[in-house]
Structure 1
């Protein structure tokens, strides 16, 4: 149960004596980076961390700050066996808080919130915020209503698709044609009927490519097509309570993947326009919790657009932890202890990279020897490595080595 929901309970409910704190949190999710960053953020402050709903071989489980891993039945929409197992686990361990850490865990708990044990403290956002933030078309509608800059975009529904796009012409509401390249984004990254598979955005260069994607990969709930905007990716990371931002950090992407992700990032000084846009959205959604609001910003022109909301912990969270912006522990203190005053003057110029993914990005971008040397021997922070918690990085390197060895072996076998 969220803090906002507790506040809305009848007076008699609020006056019940609080349960004693155990200093224990259960994390749910299958994103290694996020699980690890949240575990470190909590563990370094004396919180015991258990993990469930992730791969038993996850490198995050090698962390010094993960106390235990619990194997739990996966979510299924038509059977509550997963819920019974989850309830049994939280009853046995008396967790202060249960935190879903990525979409794989967030969506089931949000959809089934009415079935969740009311005596357990679940981290959930309010349902209106969930409905908007987890639907890119609704997110854009709200941003437009608030006067927030958006890229030129259009929504394609199943009805549109039935009418056909054989002429390979795609127009916006203002009747102007799309300018390529564009990003094709499913309205939701995952669905209740298939939470295990994330639907990624697609970068498309031409109208013919777009038509092929729409014909062969079209999801039932439609897609949002956004034109590319010239600028760098900016993330505005926040902790909010009842529509008010309590803690904020901004970062920029130094290197991006073709599907819109990033492998290398840096904390930056606040860009006021992006702060203001984020505050409008947070206030309108009456948002309580953590989130990362994505923008693109052109430093030469000062132009910017809002892209989407990550209404949960975000993939670049290790950078925030490295910059001393401990969002996981701040969330714990907000929801469990009611604290609303947080230190916000975090370190700028801190850089953090995902070593394995950045190595792959270097390979595709044909980086110079100097850049490669900086990647391998520089002093930047790494998503999986920390001086006090080095085993997760070793695990990722070993898995990378096994993957390379497997590819070499298959090539040898094929050539023989």
Structure 2
């Protein structure tokens, strides 16, 4: 076969993810290059790929044509988007990429719409009868002197916990309703917070779910986490992901488990999350499964629930030192 080249878009700081896919290509004895793309030429993950290309913003009218050019030029077999803002446009143009021989690892346009708007996410959770925080009317809350605080306010289309704010009283609510546009207000949930990586095949079936306890976060991304083999979390997460109309690849769910054992889902990201390398290292080899499915190879090795419980990830900053004249 021709080389199995992989393109990561909006690659940014996702060094571990790129390295893991490179290792899987070697493990499968596949001749292939890793192409990274970003708006910046100095994206850290570009230092671990083979080729780096510049991309306009996902809202740019030339974004899709530029990506198609890159895919054709480098014979890309698999395109993996890594930030929320590009998922919708890629989902809507997926057939154009198939026309140049590229599979875009993105769920259906309906799934991306559900996940990108937290109001639609909340409605989806309710429609499949799983617990989710009650979404409240901010103005009505302000007019009610008996409102119980704290509450949670967040942008309806936010990402990475940007703008998510704990509201302790009416004065804070009034301020942040004006300060954060297009925001929603929800019940404030107390409990242990989990991210669950669910692996979906190209027919919408869930093959694995790895819950990761969020021990510590920084700028909305987990910096300390631990795998937890909780059968209830795993089963419920698979149910949620399979209910999405056209989910493929890695579906990242976020939920709380209260002191009473109640699971409360709060968010869905239909892409690889920042902490997903913990699931890989624990033994859930999602990249290998995705590549073999694309190649239509039998997967006799796959027992995706056979991963290490209690594996802790402690992330830290590292650095690349690159000559300013070096062409990435």
Q: TM-score range by the shorter chain?
A: 0.7 to 0.9
Partners of 1:255 and 1:83 in 2: CA distance: 36
Structure number with bigger Rg: 1
CA shift digits 1:325-354 (9 cap, x unpaired): 232332222234365663321111111133
SS in structure 1 of the partner of residue 310 of structure 2: coil
**How far 1:270 moved relative to its partner?**
1.9
Partners of 2:154 and 2:164 in 1: CA distance: 4
- Structure having the higher helix fraction is 1
Aligned CA RMSD, in angstroms, stands at 2.7
CA shift digits 1:125-147 (9 cap, x unpaired): 11221221222111111211222
Partners of 1:314 and 1:305 in 2: CA distance: 19
**How far 1:297 moved relative to its partner?**
0.9
Unaligned runs of 5+ in 2: 27-31, 322-328
CA shift digits 1:287-345 (9 cap, x unpaired): 222111111013x4212211111111101112123323232332222234365663321
Structure-to-structure mapping, 1:364-375, within 5 angstroms: none
Partners of 1:107 and 1:178 in 2: CA distance: 37
2:168 aligned residue: 205
Alpha-carbon distance change, 117 to 146 in structure 1, aligned in 2, over 3 angstroms: closer
Alignment partner of 1:181 is 2:150: yes
Q: Aligned to 1:394, which of 314, 319, 323? A: 319
Partners of 2:249 and 2:137 in 1: CA distance: 29
8 Å contact 2:97–2:103 — kept in the other structure?
Answer: no
1:154 aligned residue: 136
Partners of 1:291 and 1:338 in 2: CA distance: 22
2:91 aligned residue: 110
8 Å contact 1:235–1:252 — kept in the other structure?
Answer: yes
Alpha-carbon distance change, 335 to 264 in structure 1, aligned in 2, over 3 angstroms: same
2:286 aligned residue: 327
Structure-to-structure mapping, 1:192-341, within 5 angstroms: 199-219=162-182, 223-241=183-201, 242-257=203-218, 261-272=221-232, 274-286=233-245, 287-298=247-258, 300-337=259-296
CA shift digits 1:78-108 (9 cap, x unpaired): x3x3332222221111111111122243243
8 Å contact 1:41–1:329 — kept in the other structure?
Answer: no
How high is the TM-score relative to the length of structure 1? 0.67
Alignment partner of 1:143 is 2:125: yes
8 Å contact 1:246–1:340 — kept in the other structure?
Answer: no
Alpha-carbon distance change, 349 to 229 in structure 1, aligned in 2, over 3 angstroms: same
8 Å contact 1:28–1:101 — kept in the other structure?
Answer: yes
Alpha-carbon distance change, 88 to 231 in structure 1, aligned in 2, over 3 angstroms: same
Q: Aligned to 1:83, which of 57, 64, 72? A: 64
Aligned length: 310
8 Å contact 2:198–2:241 — kept in the other structure?
Answer: no
Partners of 2:112 and 2:299 in 1: CA distance: 22
8 Å contact 1:323–1:350 — kept in the other structure?
Answer: yes
Unaligned runs of 5+ in 1: 1-19, 157-163, 172-176, 191-196, 357-392, 397-416
How high is the TM-score relative to the length of structure 2? 0.84
Partners of 2:298 and 2:155 in 1: CA distance: 37
- Structure having the higher strand fraction is 2
2:53 aligned residue: 70
